[in-house]
Structure 1
Amino acid sequence: MWTTVLSFKVIAASSLLDAAPIARPTSRASSKKSPTIDPSRAPKNCFMCFFVLGLEPVKIVNTKVLKVLLLLGSNSEDAIKVLSEAGRALSAKTPILRAGSFWRTAAWGFEGPDFVNQVLEVEWIGDPLALLEFCLETERLLGRVRSADAPRYESRRIDIDLLLASPFLNLVDPRLQLPHPRMPQRRFVLQPLAEHWSDWVADDSGRPVSELLSACSDQNFVHLVTDLN
């Protein structure tokens, strides 16, 4: 659903005028004022069905509801505690619809302590890029420091990645790609996803998560964490 937010001064469409009468000037002094209209009285199914003169900038607000899968990861000594704190921080702004189990995985791309990963399904209304910014801010609040010259793969106190959206969304932006472009090559992503979301469409060809997992050649271990103490 897309909501159009308009600030307008003169409306020139008879159908809209019929639905929401324009205020008429009552005196010579008031005749200089532009007529106004109450947007709440406009037809609900009318989208840009009129021309507007003397219009202030039009704002298009994306109110589409998305379900988004996030992958949380940490290889700090208190990784499970960190992931739990991240979940609580995220829930302050976006409802968590489902939380996956904790999974222990080998470090990817470098030698280091094992990671603990968890998938969260959240509800987001609006631009996925705004969700990305919220996730980055959550990382900063939990102590992650990003550096432009840091290696691509390194130990991380907290890492939050956007993986998939439903309804399926193919997004290509310099800041964010959905689905996550390296997801098919990473068992530590696919195995936790398959726990509850195996039937989610995972690429633009329509393949589900379960099919990507079956085809994944990554042999690094991914183990369910059973001892949460």
Structure 2
Amino acid sequence: MGDYERALADIDDIRSRMAASTVFHGLGPAALATTGGLAIATALVQGALIAVPAERPGLFFAGWIAVAVVSVVLVGAEMVVRSRRHHAGLADAMIFQAVHQFLPAGAAGAALALILARFAPDALWMLPGLWQILVSLGLFAAAPSLPRGTLIAAAWYFVAGCAVLMLEGSAPTLSPWSMGVPFAVGQLLLAAVVRHASGDHDAR
């Protein structure tokens, strides 16, 4: 490796270290709050249009997967804009770190959905609770680089996921509200935490 390549590698290493020790201000309250609203809206629509979700699990989960995709796009777009504004030259490294921290939980959620749908469709009722627990684990993993209050939202998702598994385990079924309420509350909590942290950051 030449001196030029070595210097570039050292710069990348420094950027990575700085990103790891910097609080990420790329998450935006507007997008997070919008995703919470989408969760409630989806629960309302499914409650009105799908009489027995357990009889149409494909349609039920297709709706929530669509919401997840839209939410990722909204949060990701705002994350890029805010990262450029708050982190300047570290923006790319900060975004990469944030995605890297959440990626295992997202991959695990997708894998669980495919496995249960293919090999254990009778256990699909567990998926909402499991997804919430995975979101919790992703937030706990990312907590060191996110605003301190993020732990509150992470704890909420963990408790909500366990509660959904316990409540629906007594009579296994699918309910749009077992998805809508936990995710709406969790995203609104995150939005409040990020908004408060953004205010402090701007004040400084």
Check whether TM > 0.5: no
The TM-score range, normalised by the shorter chain, is under 0.3
| Higher relative strand content | 1
TM superposition score normalised by structure 1 = 0.23
| Structure with bigger RCO (C-alpha 8 Å, 6+ apart) | 2
Q: TM-score, normalised by structure 2?
A: 0.26
More helix by share: 2
